[in-house]
Amino acid sequence: MRRPRTLVAMGEQVARRLLREPVKSRLAMVADCDPGQVVHDFTGVDLADVEVLYTSWGCPMVSADVLARAPRLRAIVHAAGSVKHHVSDACWQRGILVSTAAAANAEPVAEFTLAAILFANKRVVDIARDYRAGRTDRDWDARYPGFGNYRRTAGIVGASRIGRRVIELLRPFDLDVLVSDPYLHEDLGAERVGLDELVARSDVVSLHAPDLPETRHMIDAGRLAAMRDGATLINTARAALVDQDALVAELVTGRLYAVLDHTEPEILPAGSPLYDLPNALVTPHIAGSLGGELARMADLAVDELARYARGLPFAHGVEPATLSRSA
C-alpha cells in the first residue's frame, strides 16, 4: 500500500485532543505524514507535495489561492462533521475527493437523544428533583400520571444521519416512532407524517434537521402550542430551528418540557430563565463527540485515508449536490 503525502490541518487544541495514541501511530503508518506537524493557517506553508489534507475543526478554508499552491492535492479527509467551513467551491470544481466523519460524530448525539427520550417519558429528572427536595416516598403515579415509555410516541424531525440512527436505536423499545422529512422517500421503520401532524401526536419531539434558511424557527409558537400537554422538545441540532422566545413562553406556563443541548446564544446569559426553569434541562453543547468519543472520528478518518491509499472509494464520501440540505 502506498503512503500518500498528508498534511494535518486543524485547530491546535483540537489536534491535542484528537491526535492521541494509537491514532497518531495509525496515521503515520497509512500515510507519509508527521502527526506532530499541525497547521491552522496555510499562509507560508509548503503545499507543493501534499496529496491529502487530514482535517478537523479549526481547519482554515481551502480556497482557490490555497489550491493554486497545492497542485498535487487530491483528497480532504475530515475527522469531524460538516465540511462546509473549509471545503470551498474551488475544491469541488477541481474534483477534490472529500470524506467526512459525520457518521462517527452522529453516534454520541444519537445516544444522548435516546437517553433523553427515555428519561423524558419516565420523568426521571423531575422525580429525582422532587425526591431530593422531599426526601421521602410519594405516589409518583399520582404526581406524574401515565409516566413511562410503553406505547408513547416519539417524533423525529429530520431523517439526517443522526435522525436515522436515533430511529435505529429506538427499535428495541415499545415506542411508536414518527418521522418528518420532506426529502425522505424510503421506509426507515417509522411512520412518515408531516411536521404539523408529528408535533401534535408526539409525546417527545426530537430535532435532527440542518440549520438552513428554510428550517429557521420551524418549531415556532404555533407548533409549540400544538404540542401535547406535558410533551418534551429535544434539540440536539441547532438553536435556530426553534423560536426560543416562544419556547421560553411555553415553558414558563409549565405546559411543556425541553431538553436543549444548543441555545441562542450558545452560552446563555447568566440571567436567562432557561437556567432556572424546572421543566428545562439545558446542557452546554455536549451531545456531540467529546472526550474519549473524539477517537471514533479520528479512527474513521484514518480508515478513510487507508482506503484512499489502497485506491478504494471513500466509505463516507461527500457529494457536493447534498450540501444544500445537510449540516
Catalytic residue at 217? no
Catalytic residue at 266? yes
Residue 154 forms beta bridges with which residues? 177, 204
Taking the C-alpha atoms of 163, 164, 166 and 168 in order, what is their torsion angle to the nearest 10 degrees?
170
Q: Which is the catalytic residue, given 2, 171, 266, 310?
A: 266
Residue type, 235: N
**Assigned C-alpha cell, 213:** 434558511
Q: What is the spatial distance between Cα 317 and Cα 59, in angstroms, rounded to a whole number?
A: 18
Q: Which is the catalytic residue, given 86, 223, 238, 307?
A: 238
The distance between the two most distant Cα atoms of the chain, rounded to a whole number of Å, is: 71
Cα angle: 200, vertex 202, 206; to 5 degrees: 110
Taking the C-alpha atoms of 40, 293, 187 and 262 in order, what is their torsion angle to the nearest 10 degrees?
-70
Q: Please report the DSSP string for 269-327 in residue order.
A: -TT-GGGT-TTEEE-SS-SSS-GGGHHHHHHHHHHHHHHHHTTPPPTTB--GGGGGG--
Catalytic residue at 319? no
For the purposes of burial, counting CB atoms within 10 Å of the CB of 235, is it exposed (0-12), middle (13-18) or buried (19 or more)?
buried
Residue 259 forms beta bridges with which residues? 234, 281
Residue ranges of E strands in the chain: 6-9, 38-39, 52-55, 75-78, 97-100, 153-157, 176-180, 191-192, 204-207, 232-235, 257-260, 280-282
For the purposes of burial, counting CB atoms within 10 Å of the CB of 151, is it exposed (0-12), middle (13-18) or buried (19 or more)?
exposed
> Catalytic amino acids?
238, 266, 285
